[in-house]
Amino acid sequence: MGNAKSYAERLFDFPQIGPLNDTDAAEAIVRPTQNEGAEIQKQAVEVILQKTKGYPYFLQEWGKHAWDVAPESPIRQQDVINASDEAIAALDESFFRVRFDRLTPTEKKYLRAMAELGPGPHRSGDIALELSRVVSSLGPTRAGLISKGMIWSPTHGDTAFTVPLFDEFMKRIMPGNDWKTATV
């Protein structure tokens, strides 16, 4: 019985969705630009790919802001750099903030500890160490974050953010070290 698939697993495929590869991500920027009768320099595309980590929604956000900032065609590398603060602010205000606002104080602290360690993935023991806690005491928090779609386990004992750049957002929204001593 333990090896039997659930009813939902038998009905549906659950493909893993992640970042686009560089070729597809570049096409996602270049093709819509060209469809509008404009061009974008290769260096500008490279900056967008580097900043977005190939995440589709982020590609759209950076592309939109680069388009808005560019005074003329072709969109240049400097246009993308100039648009980056606006793209990040837009993501912070909508995409990231919506997710953050669904979290409990304990979950926020857990994600901030992960952010302190970098983009990840991270060993559960390292996160516990960052929080000065015992790994086993964090199981319910980790499980809650997984069920909310905030983190996932790419391999046994590892934890990673489900979307890129969330570690950087956590550092912006909970700056400094006060989060370490905050009571939850």
Q: Is residue 164 part of a domain?
A: yes
Q: Domain range spanning residue 144?
A: 103-181
Q: How far is CA 153 from CA 142, 143, 148, in A?
A: 10, 10, 13
Residue 1's pLDDT is 42
Do 112 and 79 sit in the same domain of this protein? no
Task: Return the CATH number at 156.
Answer: 1.10.10.10
Q: Is 49 helix (H, G, I), strand (E, B) or coil?
A: helix
Name the strand (E) or helix (H) holding 107: helix 105-117
Q: Could you tell me the CATH number of the domain that includes residue 75?
A: 1.10.8
Q: Are 107 and 141 in contact (CB under 8 A)?
A: yes
Same domain as 87, residue 30: yes
Show which of 70, 100, 130 is a domain's final residue: 100
Residue count (the chain): 184
Both 90 and 127 in a single domain?
no
| Model confidence band, residue 184 (pLDDT cutoffs 50, 70, 90) | low
Does a structural domain hold residue 3? no
Q: 125 and 69, same structural domain? A: no
pLDDT for res 2? 46
Is 17 a member of any domain?
Answer: no
pLDDT number for residue 88? 96
Is the per-residue pLDDT at 120 higher than 60?
yes
Question: Do 95 and 28 fall within a single domain?
Answer: yes
DSSP state of 40: B
Residue 37 and residue 89 in one domain: yes
- 123-165 pLDDT, tens digit per residue, is 999 999 999 999 999 999 999 999 999 999 988 889 999 999 9
Give the model confidence (pLDDT) of 32-57 as tens digits. Answer: 999 999 999 999 999 999 999 999 99
Domain end call among 47, 74, 100: 100
Tell me what pLDDT residue 136 has: 92
Q: Give residue 168's pLDDT.
A: 96
Domain shared by 50 and 116, yes or no: no
Q: Convert the pLDDT of each residue in 1-35 to its tens digit.
A: 444 445 544 565 545 567 889 999 999 999 999 99
- Quick: pLDDT tens for 94-108: 999 999 999 999 999
Are 157 and 130 found together in one domain? yes
